[in-house]
Amino acid sequence: MMGVFVQSSFDYYRHVSTRTFTEVYTSVSEMENGPVLIYHSLLFIAHTVAYIYDCKYIVTHGEETVFTYKGFGGKFKYLTNWNFIIQTVYFGLCVANDFCGTNVRPSDKGQRCRLQRWRDNFLATVVFPVGMFVVLTFWGIYAVDRELVYPKELDKIIPSWLNHIMHTTILPFLLIDKFLVYHQYPSRKIGFATLLSLALLYLSWILWVAFYANIWVYPILKVLNPHQKAVFIMAMLVFFMCLYLLGEFINKTFWGKERNHLQAQKKKSS
């Protein structure tokens, strides 16, 4: 009698588990954003693993932890590290939105959920401009004199795959994301205000490090006089704003036809 009860219970839970798994698998496979979910999940995993590897195993100048690398502030002095965290958080947010949020396109009648609004604003105001800034400035300076940004000695410490995740693959990954997923940009007033606030926060941080610990994160700032520093900083802020506009332009290029077609249909119906 007990054996029959145990067998019946086992068959019931196996049926429930199989049905639940099948339902979940079917719902995911039938999702319109299934490929997008897979794409975001792979990037989130890759960035997370790479960042953990960087924090745990990449040690330079004989230091033991990320917080003591080359003196005060650790690796958090560098915009590359800030960007690494930003990209990882962004793709994690994308995964969360793909699972339980919305991916409203211009032709959809639905409303964006809060997660999608956060994702869209985060990409527009922080993720894309900061990511492009890191890629373009790193490889631009590298082409002129790599010793200013990535000395040869680092080739023996940092694997090439990790270097490219931090400084190269950001560009194609974000462009593919923009192509696959529609992002509604905020007003330029909000966009510029958010981006410049982050830029000024980082600028204040590296200037404080220079004052407190006498460490100039970027050698070029050390050799410039005060007036030249001001001009250089203003130029970088303008560059950030241009990158924001570039992201907005790319978004319109990828999704403009769908938006224009929808607007034309609305005019005909009215």
Tens-digit pLDDT profile for residues 146-201:
888 888 988 988 999 999 999 999 999 999 999 999 999 999 999 999 999 999 99
pLDDT-derived band at 73 (thresholds 50, 70, 90) equals confident
CA distance 164 to 185: 28
**Does residue 257 register a pLDDT over 60?**
yes
Tens-digit pLDDT profile for residues 108-142:
888 999 999 999 999 999 999 999 999 999 999 89
CA distance 82 to 92: 16
Which of 21-30, 86-95, 148-157, 212-221 ranks highest by mean pLDDT?
A: 86-95
**Does residue 53 register a pLDDT over 80?**
yes
Give the chain's mean pLDDT: 84
* Whole-number pLDDT of residue 148: 81
* Whole-number pLDDT of residue 268: 59
Mean pLDDT, residues 237-263 taken together: 88
CA distance 36 to 180: 7
**Does residue 236 register a pLDDT over 60?**
yes
Distances (CA, A) of 134 to 95, 224, 239: 24, 21, 12
**Do 115 and 101 form a contact (C-beta atoms < 8 A)?**
yes
**Do 28 and 37 form a contact (C-beta atoms < 8 A)?**
yes
Domain ranges of the chain: 33-269
**Does residue 21 register a pLDDT over 60?**
no
Torsion of CA 139, 143, 147, 151, to 10 degrees: 60
Mean pLDDT, residues 211-223 taken together: 83
Distances (CA, A) of 41 to 11, 52, 97, 98, 237: 34, 17, 11, 9, 32
* Whole-number pLDDT of residue 71: 57
pLDDT-derived band at 15 (thresholds 50, 70, 90) equals very low
The answer to whether the Cα torsion of 66, 224, 168, 60 is positive or negative is negative
